[in-house]
């Protein structure tokens, strides 16, 4: 029986190493790219284990690594799962994200939101467990997500429909009376007012000064709708008017200045918090992003990638950044706590200098 020479073995290893290094997935493994978890796995010949791409263990030499498109392929090599990164857990997590995203698409495409039982059956999970997983990933229950989708459709058809009732049924509501019971909470105003461009909506506002410049606070019946910051008070007032072109804006209200003082207190001393109600208006996706932002504690930060993963859309980093840019409630919804992936400051609607100052203030607090 003959054995291969050292030179032949070295050549085989060099070829295997070159093959792995040419695979674009190898660079994601070297970077410990968390967004690749659940998309592929790698095994290590010398240790006999398989891992997820983000595994914190020391990277293997390319000649000792094999990349697998499925976890079954990794198991077929005889390797065992890594205890540090739990690669089977990555598969389960990715599978849940996929199930929830498919459920979201199903809800969005349905005129009448599917029942929890139907959604759970499609996902292959029990209703109770599916509900828990759906809310953990999206921040909303399936029912809340369905209501947000229908409300968004209603906003789109209200102005073109012949009547409000026609718009209600076109958007997928089965009963106009039951819709009207929830209209204010779903739309932020009466549907008739929204159909006419919200001329009946009355917003109180006032402009004050803080250490970061001018600050405008505006509220409707349900709470604060806008907190805007800048250098020019007149420009802030025009910004508010552009955001609510048909609303009745009521300024110079002495009683309302207390609201501004409380918001200024939040800017100057983040630890005090804000005890005023917010009227948060946005699409279902934006609201998921903004809920995730509000979960970031003062003094801590997250990346856009972190937020995208937290809401179950790891590939939607750009959409997350757009949602941050659309935030009209500065400081109260802390989009200033989101950084680039490398930890550097990114753009901020109210100026990067203000973002830096807010972060330093919260860090010191």
CATH 3.40.390.10 matches 284-364? no
CATH class of 202-272: alpha beta
pTM of the model: 0.51
The pairing of beta strand 41-44 with beta strand 65-68: antiparallel
Provide the greatest CA pair distance for the chain: 98
Q: Is 51 annotated as a binding residue?
A: yes
**For the chain, domain boundaries:** 7-85, 90-139, 146-195, 202-272, 284-364
The pairing of beta strand 248-250 with beta strand 302-303: unpaired
pLDDT value of residue 76: 84
Among 51, 66, 149, 324, the one annotated catalytic: 51
Distance, in Å, from the CA atom of 86 to the CA atom of 65, rounded to the nearest integer, reads 18
Q: Is 85 annotated as a binding residue?
A: yes
Q: Is 324 annotated as a binding residue?
A: no
- Is residue 51 part of the annotated active site? The answer reads yes
Q: What are the DSSP calls for 256-298, one per residue? A: GHHHHHHHHHHHH-GGG---S-B-----HHHHHHHHHHHTSPT
Average pLDDT, 10 consecutive residues per value, the chain (365 residues): 44 52 86 76 92 90 86 85 80 66 79 85 82 78 80 58 49 48 48 48 88 91 90 89 80 79 86 81 81 89 90 79 88 92 84 91 78
What is the CATH code for 90-139? Answer: 1.10.10
| In this structure, CATH architecture of domain 7-85 | 3-Layer(aba) Sandwich (3.40)
pLDDT value of residue 136: 73
pLDDT value of residue 15: 46
Q: Is 66 annotated as a binding residue?
A: no
pLDDT value of residue 191: 47
- Is residue 324 part of the annotated active site? The answer reads no
pLDDT value of residue 148: 75
Angle 116-123/87-109 helices, nearest 10 degrees? Answer: 140
Among 66, 149, 324, 335, the one annotated catalytic: 335
């Amino acid at each position: 029986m003959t054995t291969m020479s050292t030179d032949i073995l070295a050549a085989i290893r060099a070829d295997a190493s070159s093959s792995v290094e040419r695979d674009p997935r190898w660079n994601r493994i070297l970077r410990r790219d968390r967004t690749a978890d659940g998309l592929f796995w790698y095994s290590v010949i010398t240790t006999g284990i398989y891992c997820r791409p983000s595994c914190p263990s020391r990277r293997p030499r390319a000649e000792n690594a094999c990349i697998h498109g499925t976890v079954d392929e990794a198991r077929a090599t005889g390797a065992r799962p890594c205890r540090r990164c739990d690669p089977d857990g990555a598969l389960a997590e990715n599978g849940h994200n996929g199930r929830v995203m498919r459920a979201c698409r199903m809800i969005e495409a349905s005129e009448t939101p599917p029942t929890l039982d139907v959604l759970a059956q499609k996902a292959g999970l029990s209703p109770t467990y599916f509900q828990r997983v759906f809310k953990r990933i999206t921040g909303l229950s399936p029912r809340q997500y369905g209501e947000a989708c229908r409300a968004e459709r209603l906003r789109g058809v209200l102005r073109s429909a012949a009547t409000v009732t026609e718009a209600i049924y076109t958007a997928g509501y089965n009963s106009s009376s039951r819709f009207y019971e929830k209209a204010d909470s779903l739309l932020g105003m009466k549907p008739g007012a929204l159909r006419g461009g919200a001329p009946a909506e009355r917003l109180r506002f006032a402009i004050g000064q803080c250490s970061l410049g001018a600050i405008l606070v505006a509220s409707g019946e349900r709470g604060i709708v806008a907190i805007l910051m800048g250098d020019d008070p007149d420009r802030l007032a025009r910004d508010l008017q552009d955001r609510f072109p048909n609303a009745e804006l009521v300024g110079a209200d002495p009683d309302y200045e207390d609201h501004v003082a409380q918001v200024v207190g939040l800017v100057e001393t983040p630890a005090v918090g804000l005890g005023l109600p917010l009227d948060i208006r946005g699409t279902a996706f934006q609201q998921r992003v903004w809920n995730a932002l509000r979960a970031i504690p003062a003094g801590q930060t997250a990346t856009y990638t972190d937020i995208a993963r937290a809401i179950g859309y790891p590939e939607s980093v750009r959409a997350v950044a757009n949602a941050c840019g659309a935030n009209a409630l500065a400081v109260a919804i802390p989009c200033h706590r989101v950084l680039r992936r490398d930890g550097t400051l990114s753009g901020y609607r109210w100026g990067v200098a203000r973002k830096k100052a807010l972060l330093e203030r919260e860090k010191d607090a």
